[in-house]
């Protein structure tokens, strides 16, 4: 039997205090929050008071829960006591969620409305920006293609000229014209040297722009991709730059190339049960139960 995590009421109190301070600081540090500071402080104070109301008696409850969690249930009565406590916690959870329903819905709708207005203001600019960027990108890629083709033509011509000069040099040397032959070999080497063409794209420094080359990848065959990983021709875990607010520059993390959709997996196991384990290699299906209240008592 796995060891049950023991709840420490003091640690819970400490975590809640830190969370409240963190939430208050986060709100006050929002750019432009000073305009709404009075309203925010009032809402935050009311929310903190509501947290205190919702957590009234939680120390006693946690102590009782701890006494149950750190031992094995003895009999049916003991089991029902545990279930009753679970249902009581469920009710308290619902009450807490209900207490914040109005304020969270208001905040959600306000956020949704502001995001919508931001989109209305920014979307037209984003659309024309994307179209112009794509148009300029098409011109850039066409010029790069022409540059590459010109370089290939020059390389082929240089290669042919170098071969011809080497042949003439060998013929001259064979006839005893050593100096002439050496000069022809020198010319052949010069012709064969790589030619660096100037960039076909003008600088964008004067307009404050930049060109960022990139590759675009598209998965065309998921089965073939999975097969390459299974056969060891490509690793499943790949080291990538970790992104996010507050993440130090250069931080790396391991991420899977293929990810299982948990929603799909949950739907499959609900539909197939233990049969899923037989038909889908690489998964383990075990039985479990969820204990909760019916809300009818």
Q: CA-CA distance, 145 to 261, in Å (whole number)?
A: 40
Least confident window among 23-27, 52-56, 267-271: 23-27
pLDDT at 5 over 60: no
| pTM for the predicted model, two decimal places | 0.55
What is the structure's pLDDT at 29? 60
What is the structure's pLDDT at 59? 86
What is the structure's pLDDT at 273? 92
Q: Where along the chain do its domains lie?
A: 9-99, 138-198, 222-278
272, HSE (Cβ side, Cα atoms, 13 Å): 16
pLDDT at 83 over 80: yes
Q: What is the mean pLDDT of the chain?
A: 80
pLDDT at 1 over 60: no
pLDDT at 137 over 90: no
CB atoms within 10 A of CB 169: 20
pLDDT at 90 over 50: yes
pLDDT at 120 over 60: yes
Q: CA-CA distance, 252 to 245, in Å (whole number)?
A: 14
Q: Taking the CA atoms of 124, 125, 131 and 134 in sequence, report the sign of the dihedral they define.
A: negative
pLDDT in tens, 253-277: 999 999 889 999 999 999 999 999 9
Q: CA-CA distance, 14 to 241, in Å (whole number)?
A: 33
Mean per-residue pLDDT, 178-206: 68
Mean per-residue pLDDT, 185-198: 65
pLDDT at 109 over 90: no
Mean per-residue pLDDT, 103-123: 84
Q: Which residue bears the tokens 């929603």?
A: 263
What is the structure's pLDDT at 251? 92
pLDDT in tens, 159-186: 777 777 778 777 777 777 777 777 767 7
What is the structure's pLDDT at 263? 93
Q: How does residue 4 score in pLDDT terms, banded at 50, 70 and 90?
A: very low
Mean per-residue pLDDT, 29-47: 66
Q: CA-CA distance, 267 to 214, in Å (whole number)?
A: 38
What is the structure's pLDDT at 27? 56
What is the structure's pLDDT at 111? 81
Q: CA-CA distance, 193 to 165, in Å (whole number)?
A: 14
Q: How does residue 10 score in pLDDT terms, banded at 50, 70 and 90?
A: low
What is the structure's pLDDT at 198? 58
């Amino acid at each position: 039997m796995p060891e049950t995590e023991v709840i420490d009421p003091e640690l819970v109190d400490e975590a809640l205090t830190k969370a409240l301070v963190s939430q208050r600081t986060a709100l006050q540090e929002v750019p432009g929050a000073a305009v709404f500071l009075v309203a925010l402080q009032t809402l935050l104070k009311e929310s903190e008071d509501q947290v205190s109301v919702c957590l009234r008696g939680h120390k006693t409850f946690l102590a009782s829960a701890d006494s149950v969690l750190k031992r094995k249930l003895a009999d049916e009565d003991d089991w029902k006591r545990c279930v009753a406590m679970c249902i009581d916690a469920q009710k308290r959870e619902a009450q807490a969620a209900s207490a914040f329903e109005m304020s969270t819905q208001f905040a959600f709708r306000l956020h949704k409305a502001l995001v919508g207005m931001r989109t209305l203001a920014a979307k037209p600019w984003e659309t024309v920006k994307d179209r112009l960027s794509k148009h300029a990108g098409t011109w850039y890629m066409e010029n790069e293609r022409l540059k590459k083709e010109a370089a290939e033509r020059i390389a082929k011509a240089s290669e042919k000229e170098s071969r011809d000069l080497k042949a003439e040099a060998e013929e001259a040397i064979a006839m005893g014209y050593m100096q002439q032959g050496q000069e022809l070999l020198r010319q052949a080497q010069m012709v064969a040297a790589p030619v660096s063409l100037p960039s076909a794209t003008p600088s964008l420094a004067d307009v404050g722009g930049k060109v960022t080359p990139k590759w675009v990848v598209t998965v065309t065959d998921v089965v073939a991709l999975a097969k390459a990983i299974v056969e060891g021709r490509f690793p499943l875990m790949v080291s990538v730059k970790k992104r996010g607010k507050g993440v130090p520059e250069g931080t790396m993390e391991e991420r899977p190339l293929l990810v299982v959709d948990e929603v799909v997996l949950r739907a499959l196991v609900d539909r197939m049960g233990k049969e899923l384990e037989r038909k889908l290699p690489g998964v383990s299906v075990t039985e479990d139960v969820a204990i909760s209240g019916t809300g009818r008592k």
